[in-house]
Structure 1
Amino acid sequence: MNFTETLHTNPIFKLVSDSAKQLNIRAFVVGGFVRDLILNRPSKDIDIVCVGSGVELAELVAKNSGRDEVYLSVFKNFGTAQLKIDDWEVEFVGARKESYQRNSRKPIVEDGTLEDDQNRRDFTINAMAISLNDSDFGELLDPFDGLADIRRKIIKTPLEPSITFSDDPLRMMRAIRFATQLNFDIHPDTFDALIKEKERIDIISKERITDELNKIILSKKPSYGFLLLDSCGLLAKIFPEFVRLKGVETEEGKGHKDNFYHTLQVLDNASQKTDDLWIRWAAILHDIAKPATKRFDKKKGWTFHGHEEMGAKWVKTIFTNMRLPLNEKMRFVKSLVRLHLRPIALSKEEISDSALRRLLFEAGEDLEGLMILCRADITSKNGDKVKRYLRNFDIVEQKLKEVEESDKLRQFQPVITGEMIMETFGIQPSREVGIIKIALREAILEGTIANNIESGMPFLLAEGAKLGLSPVEPQ
C-alpha cells in the first residue's frame, strides 16, 4: 500500500523528507497517525521516527520551514523534540530499542533501527510506518500485519503479549482504551495476557491509569471498556467501589436490579447526550453507595435509603484516590450525585411550585447537567414505562423553566441579608441571625412570601418577636 498522494496533500511531510535527506538520515511517519490515516480518523498529531538524532531533525525542519510561527520544544534528556506548525503537533524521536527491569516501566533505551523501534510498539495497529525517503516515499512498512488487524478490527500485541504487558503494564489500559475507542475486539491471546498480568498494574501511577480511564469514559460507548476491564480483572484493581455494584440479591422472591449493569446503561445514555467528562463521572458515581445502603423490608422490598447523600460524601474520597481534580469539577459531580433522585421523584408525583423552587435553588448552575443525568437514569426493559417517565420528565422541565423565569432562583439570594437582620434588631452575629435567615429562605422557597423588602420585613419582625427580639430605632 502506498500513501504518496495522501502525504503530498500536507507540506509538512515533504519538509521532513527534505530535511532528513540533508542530514543523510532516514525518516518515517509512525504509530497513531498511520493507524488513523488508514481508519479515516482525523488526527493532528504526527510522530516521526528517524534513524539518527530526532532533535537535530526537528531543529532543521524548524529552520527549513521558513516560518516565524513555528514553536520548537526540545527534551534532550529523552532525545525527543516537538514542533508546532499551524494546528499540527509533530513529535520527533530517534529510532530506539528498549529493555525493561521487572520493578519499573521505565525502559533502558539504546539507539536502534526502524525495526527495533517497531518491535517496541504496543500493538500491531500502532507499529506501522510510512517511509518519507526518496527511494520508497509513501510505502507502508508493516512487519506485524497491522493493516490486516485493522481490517479484522483486532487489538493485538506485536510480540509475546505477556512480555509486552509485563514490561509496561500501562499498555493493558491502552489495549482496552483502543478497543473501546475503535470498537475493536481484543485478540484472545492478548486478552489472556491481560488476565495473567493484571497484578502488574500496581507499578503504574494513579495519574496514568486515570488518564487512560478518562479516555475510555469519553469514548462513544464507554460501557464496552468497563466490561472489558471487569472481565480481565483490572477494574477490581483500579476501581473496586464500582465492582461492588455487581450482583442481585433475592429475598422472599423479591430481587433488585443489578446496579453495575444499570450504571453502565446510565453512562451510555448520558454519553449519547453529552461529551462532558464530569457529567459522565456523575453517571458512574450516582448509585455508588447503593451496596452500602441496601436493606430488605418485608413490605417495601429492597431499599437504598440515603444512597444519594452517602454517594455524594464518597465523591471526594474517590476523586482523591483516582487523582481527579479536587476543585469545581468535583463539586459539580458531588452536586449531581446528591440531587439525582430529586427530578425523577418530581416526575412521579403532583408537582408543587415549592418543590420546583427548592430544586432550582439547590441545583443552581448545575441544573442542565443534572437533567441530562436524570434522563439517562431512566432505564427499564419496559419501553412503554421509559417513554411514560420521559414524558413526565418533559413536564417537569417545562415547569422548572416557568418557575425559573418568574422567580429567578438560580442566583437566589434573599433580599434581606444577615447585615439587615442585625441592624433591625441591634444584635451581633449570633445563633438568632442564622435562625431568622433560614426561616426567610424557607418562606421564600415555599412561596409564603415574595423575595422583596415589602413582603420580607413584616415576616422578619414576626420571626424576631418569636425569638424575643425587638426592632431598634435607626441611628
Structure 2
Amino acid sequence: MDLQDTQLMGLLARADSTVAGLSDLLSGLISEFARRNHTLYLVGGSVRDALLGRLGNDLDFTTDARPQVVHEILDSWAETTWDTGIEFGTVSAVYKGQQIEITTFRADLYDGDSRNPEVTFGNTLDDDLIRRDFKVNAMAIELRADGTREFFDPMEGLKDLQAGIMDTPDAPELSFRDDPLRMLRAARFVSQLQFGVSDRVRQAMTDMAEEIRRITVERIQVEMDKMILGVAPWDGIDLLVETGLAQIIFPEIPAMAMEPDEHAQHKDVYAHSLTVLRQAMEQEEDGPDLVLRWAALLHDIGKPDTRDVTDGKVSFHQHEIVGAKLARRRMRQLKYPKATTQEVSELVRLHMRFHGFGEGQWTDSAVRRYVNDAGELLPRLHKLVRADCTTRNERKARRLQRTYDHLEERIEEIQEKEGIAAIRPDLDGNEIMEILDLKPGPEVGQAWAYMKDLRLELGPLERDEAIAKLRQWWESKK
C-alpha cells in the first residue's frame, strides 16, 4: 500500500470512527427506516466534514423513502419536526441538540433560466449524488440497523478531498447552468475548507460569470457572508475577483486593484485590503466577527474614486467618506440588515480619524469625540485601525502601534475620570425646557446638541456652570 492509499484509509477510518460515535444517538432513527424497508445515508457536507474531522451538530441524510414517510418517522422519533422544505423532499428535526435534515433521493430537472428545479424524486443513490454541487459533497455513508456502515463514493470525491480540490460531478458548465449559485459556493468552500478549484471549474466560472445575475441578491448575500466568515476569506475573494464574478456582484472590490502610476507608485490597495482583513481576523476574540471582517475588506474602497496625483505624489483625500457611502450603497443593494450596513459603513468612515493626530497631540476633547463618534463600535475600531498598519517599514509600524497604544491609554484614563463611554450633556431635555421655559420642539433639540458638544469639548461641568453656559448660548441666539 503506497502513501496515498494509506492517507485515504486514514481519512476513511476517521470518518467511520466519527459516525460510529453517533450510533447511540441515531439508533432509533436507523431502526425505524430499516423496519419500513428503507435505506438511510449520511450524505454531502456531513460526510465531507466527518472525513475532515470537523463534523458539527447539523447532519444531512438522504433516503429512498418518500417525504411523507420521512415525516411520519421523524414525528415519532424526534423532539421537534418541521416540513417547510417538504415540497423539495426535505424534512427537518431536532433530537437531543442535533439538527437532522433528511431529503428523499432527487433527480431534478433544470430549465436553465432559474435556479429552481422541477423537483423529481429519484430511486437510486447514484442519481442523487451526481446532481450535487461538488464531488467532495457527493459522498455517502449508509447507516444500517445491525450497526455496520458502508461508504459510497461513485464520483471519487475522496480523491478530490485528499487533494484539496473542488470539482463538479458533472461538467461544470452543466452544473453552473443548472444552478449559478454553485459558483459562489465554490468561493465559499475555498474560504471554509482552504481548498483550491480545478482548472475546469475556474474556467467555467470565468466563462459563465454573467449567469450569476439569475440569482437573487438575498442568496448572494448569504453566500458572501459564509465566505467572509471562513478561515481564509482572502482566497475566496481572490477567486471571485479572478473569475470576474466580483465585478458583477461587488464591483467595488476588484476596483481596488488599481494600476500604480509609472511616476507615482502607491500601495496595491486590493492586496493591502486583504492583508488588513487577515490582520483584523487575528484580533478576533469571540469567534468570527462579520462586521469587523467586512469593514476591514472595504475600508479603502473609496480610494479608486478619490485618487489624485499632484507633483508626483498620490493622495486619496476623504476616501473614507466616499468609501462609507459606497459600502452603504452596495450593502443596501445586497439587502443587508440595516444594522450591519450602518456598522460597516461607519467603521469605514471612522478608520482614518486616528491618523489626523500625531503622537502626543490628543487633547481631552479629541479623545472624547473619538470615543463618542465610535460609540459601541469602539472595540472594533481599535482592531480595524491596528489591522490597517501593513507597512514593511518596521520603525514606522512600531511608531503607529505605539501611538495607538497611547491613544487607548488616554481613553482609559479619561474614562476612569469622566465616564466617557456614554457621554451625555450635563443637562437633560426636561431640565433644558425648564431653564429656558421652552415647550417640546426643535429648539430643545438644538439646545441639547449644544450642551452635548460642550460636554465633549470641556468635559463634565458643575451644574451652575452648565446652566450659565446654556443661558449664554440661548441669549446669543436672540
CA-to-aligned-CA distance 1:133-182 (integer Å, 9 cap, x gap): 36893111011111111111111111111111111111111111111111
Q: Give matches, 1:239-318, under 5 Å.
A: 239-250=250-261, 253-274=263-284, 275-298=288-311, 301-318=313-330
Task: Note the C-alpha offset of 1:319.
Answer: 1.7
Report the AA paired with residue 214 of structure 1. D
- Asked if structure 2 preserves the Cα contact closer than 8 Å seen for 1:230 and 1:236, the reply is yes
Amino acid at match of 1:355: A
Distance 1:21 1:255 in 2: 69
**Partners of 1:430 and 1:215 in 2: CA distance:** 46
Cα separation, partners in 2 of 1:89 and 1:453, compared to 1, 3 Å: same
- Deviation string 1:312-333 (CA, Å, 9 cap, x unpaired) is 233331121111112x222222
| 1:105 is the counterpart of 2:115 | yes
**Aligned-pair identity (%):** 34
- Does residue 1:404 correspond to 2:415, yes or no? yes
- Tell whether the 8 Å contact from 2:40 to 2:62 is kept in structure 1 after alignment: yes
CA spacing shift, 1:433–1:61, aligned 2, 3 Å: closer
Kindly provide the amino acid, as one letter, of the partner of residue 184 in structure 1. Answer: F
The question of whether the paired residues in 2 share the 8 Å contact of 1:59 and 1:72 is answered with no
Deviations 1:368-402 (A, max 9, x none): 11111111111112233223211221111111111
CA contact (8 A) 2:71 2:83 kept: no
Tell me what 2:100 maps to.
Answer: 90
**Secondary structure of the residue that 2:321 maps to in structure 1?**
helix
1:33, 1:46 within 8 Å by CA — same for their partners in 2? yes
Aligned residue among 18, 35, 38 for 1:22: 35
Q: Secondary structure at the match of 2:119?
A: strand
Q: Structure 1 CA distance, aligned partners of 2:378 and 2:349?
A: 12
Aligned to 2:51: 38
Where 1:122 maps in the other structure, the secondary structure is coil
Listed as ranges, the matches of 1:128-147 within 5 Å are 128-133=139-144, 137-147=148-158
Whole-Å separation in 2 of the counterparts to 1:180 and 1:352: 43
Aligned CA distance change for structure 1 residues 48 and 454 (closer, same or farther; 3 Å): same
Write the distance in 2 (CA, Å) between the matches of 1:25 and 1:385.
67
User: Does 1:229 pair with 2:240?
Assistant: yes
Whole-angstrom CA distance in 2 between matches of 1:316 and 1:228: 24
What is the correspondence of 1:138-217 to structure 2 with a 5 Å cutoff? 138-217=149-228
Q: Give the CA deviation at 1:60.
A: 1.8
Cα distance in 1 for residues equivalent to 2:236 and 2:212? 16
Residue 464 of structure 1 corresponds to 474
> For the residues of structure 2 that align with 1:17 and 1:419, how far apart are their CA atoms?
67
Structure 2 unmatched ranges of 5 or more = 1-11
CA-to-partner distance for each residue in 1:198-235, whole Å, 9 max, x for gaps? 11111011111111110111112211111111111111
Secondary structure class of the residue paired with 1:303: strand
Number of the residue aligned with 1:471 = none
- The range that moved more, 334-343 or 290-299, is 290-299
2:332 is the alignment partner of 1:320: yes
Shift of 1:272: 1.8
* Residues 16 and 428 of structure 1: CA distance in aligned 2, closer, same or farther (over 3 Å): closer
Shift of the alpha carbon at 1:343?
2.4
1:374 counterpart residue number: 385
Out of 440, 451, 455, the position equivalent to 1:444 is 455
Aligned pairs, how many?
A: 461
CA contact (8 A) 2:19 2:50 kept: no
* TM-aligned CA distance change 1:208 to 1:244, over 3 Å: same
CA drift at 1:254:
2.2
For the pair 1:454 / 2:464, whether they are aligned, the reply is yes
Q: CA deviation at 1:434?
A: 6.0
Q: CA deviation at 1:33?
A: 0.6
Does the residue aligned with 1:121 lie in a helix, a strand or coil?
coil
> Per-residue displacement from partner, 1:403-459 (whole Å, max 9, x unpaired)?
122122221111224554444344556887666545433333222x63331321232
* AA of the residue aligned to 2:470: L
Partner of 1:92, secondary structure, is strand
Scaled by the length of structure 2, the TM-score of the pair is 0.90
- State the AA in 2 paired with 1:128: M
Contact 2:283 2:383 in 1 (8 A): yes
CA contact (8 A) 2:426 2:451 kept: no
Deviation of 1:288 after TM superposition, in Å, equals: 1.7
Q: Choose 133-142 or 117-126, whichever is displaced more.
A: 133-142
Partner of 2:69: 56
> How far apart are the structure 1 equivalents of 2:438 and 2:375?
31
SS of equivalent residue, structure 2 residue 224: helix
Residues 263 and 284, structure 1, Cα contact 8 Å, conserved in 2: yes
Q: Structure 1 pair 257/13, CA: closer, same or farther in 2 (3 Å)? A: same
Q: What root-mean-square deviation, in Å, do the aligned CA atoms of Structure 1 and Structure 2 show?
A: 2.4
Query: Matches of 1:74 and 1:34 in 2, distance apart?
Result: 24
1:54–1:310: structure 2 CA closer, same or farther, 3 Å change rule?
Answer: same
Distance 1:224 1:264, change over 3 A: same
Partner of 1:390: 401
Distance 2:105 2:254 in 1: 41
Q: Retained in 2: the 8 A contact 1:346–1:396?
A: no
Q: Which residue of 1 aligns with 2:8?
A: none
TM-score computed with the length of structure 1 as normaliser: 0.90
What is the aligned partner in structure 1 of residue 351 from structure 2?
Answer: 340
For 1:183 and 1:387, how far apart are their aligned partners in 2?
Answer: 32
Structure 1: tracts of 5 or more residues without a match? 469-475
